[in-house]
Structure 1
């Protein structure tokens, strides 16, 4: 039976963005299979100043993210989806043990794991980063954009502790006539497209703000307000 392993979990709220993108009826946890396609745990050892040191690491897939801005409606475009890692992190707090068994959905509603993110995806194709980003914009948000419209903003690391994936941030302006599909992802993905006004998005990076989104979203917004929005 799933138990709360940590103390107080971080606050969360989905009320401002409406209902979650999908209907989750059951959640359970288990150990990582050895054939995982996306995550590979390991250990690195090294000698620094004649002292042997080790670090436990998790190899993850590199990714691209795209900050989308609708010129037709002057709104920033985000995606929402359930992230199991976020759900587990909130439920268990600071405890590093991976719990096993069923989650209590009344005590821990699935909405706790719904994130607000920039459009993006894994670098898992033999294509350029811009081409992968172009595909993600179409699949997740429904806009067909030329590769040339994707502005390369910067490259960074998703983390520098246990895991570290190379990330590339793009910026792209879109118009309504480029909307050719509903978006929402491919295969079994359940992704909800969300549009926020510039002022609504500004609240996400104000002092004291809380969000379930990753650092890519915050970094993209801070760049936007610094480089694109002069108000």
Structure 2
């Protein structure tokens, strides 16, 4: 997964299917203002709990944005000055919930079901997917909507050829015990994880973890 080389940066092409920058203009209290924004896809994220083995199911993957955040100060405008011995790509491996963008005209719960199958290899019907909440991510840049779902799976739901992503995605499926999940949200931790991941873990521990009081 971390066999990554030839890292460099470049300008964003105008035909990007994922990110479209623009400037937002408005007047507040009589003063003209503007804000630079990004139009991005909304998304789904899924908290997966394997009840057969009492494990939370997460994914790990290399995130270019996280890597750029680590190296941008000394990489140069084109990224050709990156010292990959000092900054190995493994530093930008993230721990996340199973998730995906909303890029099809179908119900969001169906997109969530597809992501569980494609990324983690569990084939479950939509009636087992429970919608938990929706919230805005990237409120300073995109304001995109993410809906969070919860699903309980068993070893019998596992598809032998499923998981790991589709096309050119490289995703590692990892499992955490309840004890290890609690350690993730302890005071002082520094994680390569998005806020939605932490929200999902905390929600599960408070509402669905075996032995919780909810």
Q: Same fold (TM over 0.5)?
A: yes
Given the alignment, which residue of 79, 99, 108 partners 1:129?
108
SS of equivalent to 2:52: coil
Q: Write out the 4+ residue segments of structure 1 that deviate beyond 4 Å after TM superposition.
A: none
Alignment partner of 1:222 is 2:202:
yes
1:68–1:77 CA contact under 8 A, matched in 2: yes
SS of equivalent to 1:138: helix
Aligned runs of 1:1-231 on 2, under 5 Å? 21-92=1-72, 99-102=77-80, 103-180=82-159, 181-229=161-209, 230=212
2:19–2:40 CA contact under 8 A, matched in 1: yes
* Counterpart residue number, 1:11: none
Aligned equivalents of 2:2, 2:36: Cα separation in 1:
34
Q: How many residues align?
A: 209
RMSD: 1.6
- TM-score w.r.t. the length of structure 2 is 0.93
2:52–2:155 CA contact under 8 A, matched in 1: yes
- Cα displacement (A) at 1:98: 7.8
SS of equivalent to 1:115: strand
- Cα displacement (A) at 1:26: 2.3
Aligned equivalents of 2:105, 2:84: Cα separation in 1:
40
Of 65-74 and 55-64, the range deviating more from structure 2? 55-64
* Counterpart residue number, 1:16: none
Pick closer, same or farther for the CA change 1:98–1:121 going to 2, 3 Å.
farther
- Cα displacement (A) at 1:92: 2.3
Q: Structure 1 unaligned runs (5+)?
A: 1-20
SS of equivalent to 2:151: strand
- Cα displacement (A) at 1:22: 4.0
